[in-house]
Amino acid sequence: MRPLIATLLTTCLLSAVEVADAFARATAPTQKTGAVFLRLSNSSSSPISLTSASTAVAGTAELHTHIREDGVMKMRAVPTITVPAQGSTTLKPGADHIMLFDLKSPLVEGTTLRLTLTFSDASQTQVEVPVRSADATSADAPKACCQGN
């Protein structure tokens, strides 16, 4: 019984990571991929990593980054995105971001999607992500609200 109680307590921890400035870009009607961008701030004294993301609007959500290879920028999946202790990490176009694959419907400007973020400290955070124009940048993003589970 004790392992069950420990598991329940671990999964109910609130994250030390705050999410702000989240947005997704609107997609074309037949587009099957999308992306989410946001800022993660860590108030703890230890680094915490984003380990996964999920949403009901896509079949799969992956953590991605861009790398320069042979003079060409390429996107690559990464296992985690680290948020330094007492610091922040910004997921933005052309850098780290969350890719959405197999979209179930287009991402329409003016709507929102719910995104669940899972961190290395076993916490999860739910984020309501507004969908902005297809050419939106981090500077256009409104403050996003989130709630830890």
- pLDDT score recorded for residue 109: 96
- The pLDDT-based confidence of 26 (bands split at 50, 70, 90) is very high
The H-assigned helical ranges of 13-125 are none
Strand pairing category for 97-103 and 58-69:
antiparallel
Higher pLDDT, 10 or 31: 31
Q: Is the pLDDT of residue 9 over 60?
A: no
- pLDDT score recorded for residue 65: 94
In sequence order, the β-bridge partners of residue 82 are: 49
Q: ∠17-78-148 over CA atoms, to 5°?
A: 20
- The pLDDT-based confidence of 15 (bands split at 50, 70, 90) is confident
- The pLDDT-based confidence of 143 (bands split at 50, 70, 90) is very low
Q: Is the pLDDT of residue 148 over 60?
A: no
What is the fold, at CATH topology level, of the domain defined by 2-135? Answer: Immunoglobulin-like (2.60.40)
pLDDT digits (tens, 9 = 90+) for 40-84: 999 999 999 999 999 999 999 999 998 888 888 889 999 999 999
Contacts (Cβ under 8 Å, ≥6 apart) of 48: 15, 16, 17, 42, 82, 83, 119, 120, 121
Q: Is the pLDDT of residue 2 over 50?
A: no
- pLDDT score recorded for residue 68: 85
What is the reported pTM?
0.82
What's the number of CA atoms in the CB half-sphere (13 Å) around residue 126?
Answer: 7
Q: Is the pLDDT of residue 5 over 50?
A: no
pLDDT digits (tens, 9 = 90+) for 99-142: 999 999 999 999 999 999 999 999 999 999 999 998 887 655 55
